[in-house]
Amino acid sequence: MSFPIRRRLAAAATALLAGALPGKAEPIEFRSVEASFHGGSTEELLECIDGIEAGPHGWRVAPQVGEPHSAVFRTAAPLSANAVQLTLCFLSGRFNNAIAEFAVSATTDADPSLAGRWEPLRIVRFRAERAKLTRTADNHLRAKETTREIRGMEADDVYSVTVRTERDGITGFRLDVFPVTHEGPSPPEHEEIFPSGPVASWGIYGDFILTEFRAEPLGNVALGAPVKATHPLAGNMQPSALTDGLPSTFSHPQDPDLGTNFHFEIDLGRVVEMDHLTLRGRNDGVRENYNRLSQLLVQLYDREPADEVKPVWQRLHRADGSFPDEGMPDVLRPAKGEGEFRGRYIRLSTNSTVRLSPQIAEVEVYETRTPTLACLLADGRVLPMAGHLSVPAGSRQLSFEFRISHSGKAPKGALRWRLEGMGSDWQSSPSAVLSIPCPRPGSYVLQAQAGHSDGLWDATIFSRTMNVPQPFVETPAFRWLAATGALLAGAFLVMIFTRRNIVALKTQSALAEERTRIARDMHDEVGARLSQLVMLHDVFAREHTLPEAAREDLRQLSLNTQQAVTSLDEVVWMVNPQNDTLASMAEFLAHYASGYLEPAHIACRIHAPIDWPALEVRAQVRHELVCAFKEALQNVVKHARAREVAITLRREAGEFVVTVADDGCGLPEVPGGLGKDGLANMKTRLACVGGTCEFSQRPTGGTEVTMRVPLPR
């Protein structure tokens, strides 16, 4: 198996292992690591705290595999948690390349070092993916020696260790590695590479590579807490079953009828401000065992219980004799009892007459986690947070950064939030940093609630009033000022430009009148004479007997005269200012195309809207576009050998777009030959009025010409 595949499998195993344990939270950030010896570079050593569970680099001790070693992992901030889950990853891709024996400790020194004060941590539970871990008499964890074969599909291993910290302000963790001695003989095929004497791992080289060291605070602060009972328990039951995190273990007194004379007592190690306390009963499918959690007296003490010490909170839970359903947790909140819901010691006794009561599988305690607003930003600018929150008018984006006290994270998100006044539904967030669009002007109440690792939301809610003022530009005062200013400015501009406009209008009017006169004269004088000439040709042909050759010349002369009349009509159309409109332009192009293609027996399909906006098209633009359009149709008739032409007229993004698409033979492969001057002329004509002309091959065969000219806004 290749290294990348082994690394991916090991990383997946790590995620499954971590997710299977209750109370999983966000990893603790480490700022640095120090080792008594490291066989690699400083960069490789730092890879074991980079948060990436992948090998093969990290803390390694080769070639000094026969000596004890230590490593110090310094936290980025002091840690307050009763229980912490440590994860040790050995993702080197080599068989048995994990630590054979180790111990863990912690410190509260301001700057942790190998020479500092370290206190051993009590190990609550442990497991490994491949090896079998056992606890030694001196609170070490030792991996059982496995085969030294280098074959195998699962080379990597991951250790998971839950420890009790029992004090606040932890600044570092220490990992001590102890060499062990191989008891059996080395395999003959590998005898020459096995180190002699003690080794740090059971691998064939005796070394290890710690590729990742992770620490995660656990939400259940009772996990691993010491428990004592006033009387012997049944069989081999242990009081610690109440806090071992395993609902499958349980405890009850040996004497079945002790009643109120018996109690369990849990020491959390410090006074805890509690949000809720969860009790779990035996879940074995035997219904008569469930009622041993009824009439349970729960008492909290802030100092060691004694006759003269009174509980700070107590409740007779399920006094009516009821009991929870199979597998269902029993949750106690402060409102269900009397006093302050806080304490270090928890006493559990019973008033029930049911034999072997109380029978408890697990006790979980979750601290109050009230979110606090650490930072508020509007469009990236930090805002003051004293008193009511005030957002600058016109803000677009808001960012809230919350801080959540104590450990543990909800499985579906760090917190949930809502803005009362914008909606009443809670919105879940996977992190404590929110980024939302700024709401409309108004007054809102920002609320946030933290989640616990058991899936319940904390009873306390952060709440602050937030005001979003109306931008000045939206106020009535601004509208009045803007209206007044606009009127004054308008009057001033009218006064300045009126004279210029009058002169310009007079000039334009005179130019339009002159263009109208020219068009009228050309139509009335030249057009009339050309029409008379056509008529005389027809009369002469009817009244005189002429040779066939002369009659053919006369027909050709008549045809040329008719074409001259048509050309004159087009010139008159271009000159006449009444045709300076988009609608007139579109109508002319459609009419011309139909009349031009019909004699060539080419079908013409025209796609154009019925109504056109009232936009002016300058005479020069009309002239150049008409000439380019005529050239496009002429190329179709002369060179394309087409049977059908589709003409599309449309207005698009401030332009008038004309598309001529035929089903002919397409453009020549070599850029040259017939029509090349015409194509270049089309581009030049449209470019001089700010337009474009593009030619392309159609996927179904033929050529498509797209002409664009700008339109006035």
- What is the chain's mean pLDDT, rounded? 82
pTM: 0.57
Burial (Cβ within 10 Å: 0-12, 13-18, ≥19) of residue 619: middle
Residue 234 and residue 313 in one domain = yes
Which of 330-334, 446-450, 511-515 bottoms out in mean pLDDT, i.e. has the lowest? 511-515
Residue 455, domain CATH: 2.60.40.10
Residue 82's pLDDT is 83
Residue 390 and residue 403 in one domain = yes
Dihedral sign for Cα 301, 302, 308, 310, please: negative
Confidence band of 230 (pLDDT split at 50, 70, 90): very high
Q: What is the DSSP letter of 577?
A: G
Asked if pLDDT for residue 486 goes beyond 60, the answer is: yes
Q: Which residue range is the domain that position 267 belongs to?
A: 227-367
| Mean pLDDT of all residues in 501-505 | 58
Residue 494 and residue 562 in one domain = yes
Q: Is residue 93 part of a domain?
A: yes
Q: Is residue 143 part of a domain?
A: yes
Of the three residues 448, 471, 494, the one that is the final residue of a domain is 471
Asked if pLDDT for residue 625 goes beyond 50, the answer is: yes
Q: Is residue 403 part of a domain?
A: yes
Residue 13's pLDDT is 37
Residue 92 and residue 167 in one domain = yes
Which residues, in sequence order, are bridge partners of residue 275?
A: none
Amino acid at 300: L
Residue 53 and residue 135 in one domain = yes
Burial (Cβ within 10 Å: 0-12, 13-18, ≥19) of residue 287: exposed
CA distance 166 to 108: 12
Confidence band of 454 (pLDDT split at 50, 70, 90): confident
Of the three residues 367, 393, 408, the one that is the final residue of a domain is 367
Q: Is residue 222 part of a domain?
A: no
Contacts by 146-152 with C-beta closer than 8 Å and gap 24+? 146/96, 146/202, 148/95, 148/96, 148/186, 148/187, 148/190, 148/194, 148/202, 148/203, 148/204, 149/95, 149/187, 150/94, 150/95, 150/190, 150/204, 151/95, 152/95
Number of domains in the chain: 5
Residue 116 and residue 54 in one domain = yes
User: By percentage, how much of the chain surpasses pLDDT 70?
Assistant: 79
Q: Is residue 250 part of a domain?
A: yes
- Give φ, ψ of 554 to 5 degrees: -65, -40
Residue 504's pLDDT is 57
Residue 14 and residue 123 in one domain = yes
Residue 341, domain CATH: 2.60.120.260
Asked if pLDDT for residue 707 goes beyond 90, the answer is: yes
Q: Answer yes or no: are the C-beta atoms of 540 and 574 closer than 8 Å.
A: no
Asked if pLDDT for residue 662 goes beyond 90, the answer is: yes
* Residue 198, token pair as written in the block: 């003690």
Q: Is residue 443 part of a domain?
A: yes
Residue 330 and residue 454 in one domain = no
Q: Is residue 681 part of a domain?
A: yes
Residue 384 and residue 494 in one domain = no
| Mean pLDDT of all residues in 220-237 | 91
Residue 55 and residue 87 in one domain = yes
Closest by Cα among 369, 89, 102 to 210: 89
